[in-house]
């Protein structure tokens, strides 16, 4: 039986201590190296820098043939694509994550906030 999706938040009011960096490292490690299915909910509303960075990377992939071929080989070798990153206000992040999970046919193992 599939286990329940785990919700994990790296959280502190202090700025610049590594919340965003550590979230992406942990999400990427579990998604790409450990084979888990991961979602990231960026709660740094309204900047949502991690979400914006992800959008920039996808745009870059659409326009740069070199990165495109690298991404295709990576995704083919992994048998999966990059993980989704959604932007949400902190107060609605959990309901946003639950809404996202309910619409996705693929099961997710971990949601990082």
Q: Segment 16-75, which members bind Mg ion (CB under 5 A)?
A: 19-20
Helix, strand, coil percentages (3-state) for the chain, rounded to 5, are 50, 10, 35
Question: Binding segment for ligand ATP among 18-26, 51-59, 81-89, 97-105 (CB under 6 A)?
Answer: 18-26
Euclidean distance between CA atoms 89 and 79, whole angstroms = 32
The binder of ligand ATP chosen from 1, 3, 16, 56 (CB under 6 A): 16
Nearer to Mg ion, 20 or 28 (CB): 20
Question: Binding segment for ligand ATP among 11-19, 28-36, 74-82, 92-100 (CB under 6 A)?
Answer: 11-19
Euclidean distance between CA atoms 111 and 41, whole angstroms = 7
51 counts as binding ligand ATP under rule CB under 6 A: no
Identify any residues that bridge with 41 across adjacent strands, giving them in sequence order: 86
Neighbour count for residue 112 (Cβ, 10 Å): 25
Q: Footprint of Mg ion on this chain (CB under 5 A)?
A: 19-20
């Amino acid at each position: 039986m599939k286990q329940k999706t785990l919700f994990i938040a790296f959280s502190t009011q202090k700025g610049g201590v590594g919340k965003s960096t550590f979230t992406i490292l942990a999400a990427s490690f579990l998604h790409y190296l450990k084979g888990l299915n991961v979602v990231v909910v960026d709660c740094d509303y309204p900047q949502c820098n991690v979400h914006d960075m992800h959008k920039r990377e996808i745009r870059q992939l659409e326009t740069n043939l070199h990165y495109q071929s690298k991404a295709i080989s990576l995704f083919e070798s992994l048998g999966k694509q990059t993980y989704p990153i959604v932007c949400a206000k902190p107060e609605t992040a959990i309901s946003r994550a639950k809404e996202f999970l309910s619409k996705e046919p693929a099961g997710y193992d971990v949601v990082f906030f």
